[in-house]
Amino acid sequence: MKKTCKEIFVILLISILIGLIANALSPNGIALIRDDSERFLIDSSKTKSDNFKNQRGKLNKAGFYQPVNIPVETAKILFDDGILFVDGREPAEFQQGHIQGAINIDYKIFKDKTKEEKNEIMKDIRKDQAVVSYCGSDSCEISIDNAYEMAKVGFDDMKIYLGGYKEWKQFGYPIEE
Amino acid sequence: MNFLSNKYFLIAIRVIVGGIFIYASFDKLMNQEMFSKAIYNYKFLPGTFINIFAIIIPYLELIAGIFLISGIFVRGSSLIISILLVLFIIALGQAYARGLDIDCACFELKNELENANQKSDILLRIIEDMLLLTASIIIYIKSKIILNKEIQQ
């Protein structure tokens, strides 16, 4: 058993050393501590929902503009302004009911496409305007992930409506079923 | 069950299990950001540790796989692989039990058919991992017996 423990220790040590060194040297290396603290954060200092409307995400290290989380009030203002809503759920769920005028881009399929294919799928959407990403409800993270996938291909003003279809419907805002 | 102690049978399962682990590590090494997100989707580990795991696990799989095939540190490698497989089975099992969609970290209410499809996908992966775990435990136990015999001789 002592010999096995020694073997495990050696394998662990080699893996940790190579892993850390390779990660530090690789251009695709990741941070040692994953930071999801802002994933669901809605900036409460912006008390007026109008402020969110014009709030643009920061350009991050990965070279794309960070999507911004918005509350339902801002989502409604953007909706009234005619801003496009993108529903990231699967087509069957989308067809059961969605925010009026929204288009369906299924995250699970979209995420595996190449950059060119993503641009092709989104070719009819203006890049100089805001786009709102949403999904079923706040227990679903497709809205966040889909917005990041879109931001990475050049949509610089992505908004994430975390409350999603469920909250929108509860507020009695326009839907299509 | 005599064939389990057959030297060539043991070499064959070492190559198969080692090969699967080497293959599985490549995909993760190519895109660690995606692997980190995949771990996140299981909602199983505290966020702080996710990236450390995403950095080390692929190399652990790769090195244990190489050692297993080449016959170096066979017992240590097979034990590490067994521990990893137990962790994978627990992660998949809790996702299955909670009805979590590991493609997107969602607990969405879906229609029954889609839900059943996702659940059977997870179940299939649990069964695969259990088969691999059995093979890995056989390697661990049998290589100990062979080792003891060699010492006695």
Q: How confident is the model at residue A21 (pLDDT cuts 50, 70, 90)?
A: very high
The 10 Å CB-count burial string (b at 16+, else e) for A109-132 is: ebbeeeeeebeebbeeeeeeebbb
Residue of A nearest to B110 (CA): A93
| Interchain pair A11, B40: CB under 8 A | no
User: Tokens 């909250």 sit at which residue?
Assistant: A167
% of chain A with per-residue pLDDT over 70 = 94
User: How far is it, in rounded angstroms, from Cα A121 to Cα B39?
Assistant: 28
Taking the Cβ of residue B40 and every Cβ of chain A, the question of whether any pair is shorter than 8 Å is answered with yes
CB < 8 Å to A18, chain B: 59, 63
What is residue B34's predicted lDDT score, i.e. its pLDDT?
86
What is residue A44's predicted lDDT score, i.e. its pLDDT?
65
| Interchain pair A31, B52: CB under 8 A | no
Distance from CA of A165 to the nearest CA of B (A): 12
Q: How confident is the model at residue B78 (pLDDT cuts 50, 70, 90)?
A: very high
What is residue B4's predicted lDDT score, i.e. its pLDDT?
74
B111 pLDDT above the threshold of 60: no
> For residue A5, what are its two tokens?
């423990």
B95 pLDDT above the threshold of 70: yes
Q: Is there a domain that residue B153 lies in?
A: no
What is residue A49's predicted lDDT score, i.e. its pLDDT?
54
Residue of A nearest to B103 (CA): A108
DSSP string across A101-126: T-EE--HHHHTTS-HHHHHHHTTTS-
Query: pLDDT tens, A44-101?
Result: 665 555 556 677 788 887 788 989 999 999 999 999 999 999 999 989 889 999 999 9
User: How far is it, in rounded angstroms, from Cα A45 to Cα A50?
Assistant: 12
| Interchain pair A136, B106: CB under 8 A | yes
Q: Are A69 and A42 in contact (CB under 8 A)?
A: yes
Beta partners for residue A159, in sequence order: A68, A132
Q: Is there a domain that residue B114 lies in?
A: yes
| Interchain pair A11, B76: CB under 8 A | yes
Q: Is there a domain that residue B69 lies in?
A: yes
Q: Where are the alpha helices (DSSP H) in chain B?
A: 7-30, 32-41, 47-70, 74-98, 112-152
A84: nearest Cα among A66, A104, A65: A104
Q: Is there a domain that residue B55 lies in?
A: yes
Total of domains in chain B = 1
| Interchain pair A28, B31: CB under 8 A | yes
Residue B22 belongs to domain spanning: 3-148
What is residue A99's predicted lDDT score, i.e. its pLDDT?
95
B131 or A40: which leads in pLDDT: B131
Q: Are A10 and B73 in contact (CB under 8 A)?
A: yes
User: How far is it, in rounded angstroms, from Cα A88 to Cα A109?
Assistant: 10
What is residue B45's predicted lDDT score, i.e. its pLDDT?
87
CB < 8 Å to A33, chain B: 48, 51-52
Q: Are B48 and A33 in contact (CB under 8 A)?
A: yes
Q: Are B135 and B10 in contact (CB under 8 A)?
A: no
For residues A133-151, average pLDDT: 90
Q: How confident is the model at residue B120 (pLDDT cuts 50, 70, 90)?
A: confident
Interface test with A, best of B48, B49, B51, B55 (most A CBs within 10 A): B55
What is residue A52's predicted lDDT score, i.e. its pLDDT?
65
B98: nearest Cα among B122, B126, B114: B122
Query: pLDDT tens, B27-75?
Result: 899 888 889 988 988 888 888 899 999 999 999 999 999 999 999 999 9
B33: nearest Cα among A65, A171, A34, A73: A34
Distance from CA of A67 to the nearest CA of B (A): 17
Q: How confident is the model at residue B144 (pLDDT cuts 50, 70, 90)?
A: confident
Distance from CA of A101 to the nearest CA of B (A): 22
Taking the Cβ of residue B48 and every Cβ of chain A, the question of whether any pair is shorter than 8 Å is answered with yes
What is residue A58's predicted lDDT score, i.e. its pLDDT?
82
For residues A164-174, average pLDDT: 94
Mean pLDDT lowest for which of A109-123, A142-156, B21-35, B139-153? B139-153
Taking the Cβ of residue B77 and every Cβ of chain A, the question of whether any pair is shorter than 8 Å is answered with yes
B65 or A129: which leads in pLDDT: B65
State how far the alpha carbon of A55 is from the alpha carbons of A38, A81, A150, A155, B124, in Å.
Answer: 15, 15, 18, 14, 45
| Window 113-132 of B, Cβ < 8 Å to A | 114
Distance from CA of A19 to the nearest CA of B (A): 5
CB < 8 Å to B36, chain A: 30, 34
Identity of the residue in A3, A20, A34 whose CB atom sits nearest the CB atom of B36: A34
User: Looking at this predicted complex, what is its ipTM?
Assistant: 0.85
What is residue B102's predicted lDDT score, i.e. its pLDDT?
79
B122 pLDDT above the threshold of 70: yes
Ramachandran sector of residue A34 (left: φ over 0; alpha: ψ -120 to 50; beta: rest): beta
Give the phi and the psi of residue A105 in degrees, each rounded to 5: -125, 105
For residues B109-114, average pLDDT: 57
What is the Cα Rg of chain B in Å?
Answer: 18
Burial grade of A1 (CB within 10 A; 0-12, 13-18, 19 or more):
exposed
Q: Is there a domain that residue B104 lies in?
A: yes
Residue of B nearest to A33 (CA): B48
What is residue B103's predicted lDDT score, i.e. its pLDDT?
74
